[in-house]
Amino acid sequence: MKDVIRTTALPAVLGGAVVAVAFLALGPVKERTTTTIERAAASAAIANPTSGLTAHEIYQRAAPGVVYVRSESVQTTNNPFDLFPQRQRSVGTGSGFVIDQTGRILTNYHVIAGAQRVTVQFEGNKSATARVIGRDQSDDLALLKVDPSGLPLHALPLGSSKTVQVGDPTLAIGNPFGLDRTLTSGIVSALQRQITAPNGFAIDNVIQTDAAINPGNSGGPLLDGNGRVIGINSQIATATANAGTATDSGGSVGIGFAVPIDTAKKVLPQLEKTGTVKQAWMGILGGTTPSGVVLQSVRSNGPAARAGLHGRDVVTALDGQKITTMEGVIASVGSKKPGDKVTVTYLRGGKSHTTTLTLGTRPDNLSAAR
């Protein structure tokens, strides 16, 4: 499975070595012997002044609800020198967490992508085969379901990512490098970040944290100081002189990203009902300018093209709300559904125009949207 989502070289030289930043999906990773590690909480997260809970108390409450996700896939390869096709079996691991007593579990899409069999391990080494009942590549989310009979299901309380502020304490519980139910802690480092989903589209309103998360933490919960889930750990940034090479450790440097739990709450009903999520789509690629968002390309016969928009038009407002960045366009469209109508104000040849656009359904991947 593809671990690297995006790699960007930085034009800086430190000690004679060019440093690069790689944005990595956190899992799955190869299985290892599991143990439990608890790291002492940073001073800002030792106790929540409101709840009075220590990091250890939050861990005791939440750890039983964090699961170990094991995905298995089999690929058939043809070798021209062999008479018979070869079957290759691969196993990946990641994290997830229980969200209710019916056996529903949230994890990342990239943890289970391509899997023919998914096994979930609970507290006390009890395991069960899970069904993947919903996949959302655009938000890197997947919904699993196990038969709850005889399983120690411990549902984690879901908080709200809308109330999170920079500096708030965070705790991450997961299975980095296969190390079972590891706890790390830190703070919210930034809000409203963007990361790239497995299908190439942008995920918005992402929470950045300095809680140490690593490959295998994928799908595990990011908790607030009250022990409520505020995000699903998804990607990390790594800085190394050998980024992308065999000697790249792929380890955490204190920049981790979590998909906001409010995004998951929004798509859960669709995932359960239809197994997938239909996202609204304008059919454009754009860039930020001082005047607004310039349309670098408009998908032929897409929603924007049908509404009369052309390349080099500059979008200045959507539904009367001023637009200054492409991120603003993505956020506005992301809040709507396919079939919704949007009033688009744009500049062409220095003159302002208005058109009504009917949003379409986002393609499965970014390459199909170009």
One of 95, 218, 234, 252 is an active-site residue; which one?
218
Q: What is the DSSP letter of 158?
A: B
Tokens of 233: 């750990």
One of 136, 139, 140, 180 is an active-site residue; which one?
140
User: Phi and psi of 317, rounded to 5°?
Assistant: -160, 150
What distance in Å separates the CA atoms of residue 133 and residue 144, rounded to the nearest whole number?
A: 6
Is position 364 annotated as part of the catalytic site?
Answer: no
Q: What is the dihedral of CA 238, 22, 38, 217, to 10 degrees?
A: 180
Write the CB contacts of 103 (distance below 8 Å, at least 6 apart in sequence): 145, 146, 147, 148, 151, 153
Closest CA to 267 of 259, 258, 276: 276
**DSSP SS3 for 328:** helix
What distance in Å separates the CA atoms of residue 10 and residue 167, rounded to the nearest whole number?
A: 27
One of 95, 110, 180, 204 is an active-site residue; which one?
110
Is position 110 annotated as part of the catalytic site?
Answer: yes
Is position 310 annotated as part of the catalytic site?
Answer: no
Give the residue numbers marked as catalytic.
Answer: 110, 140, 218
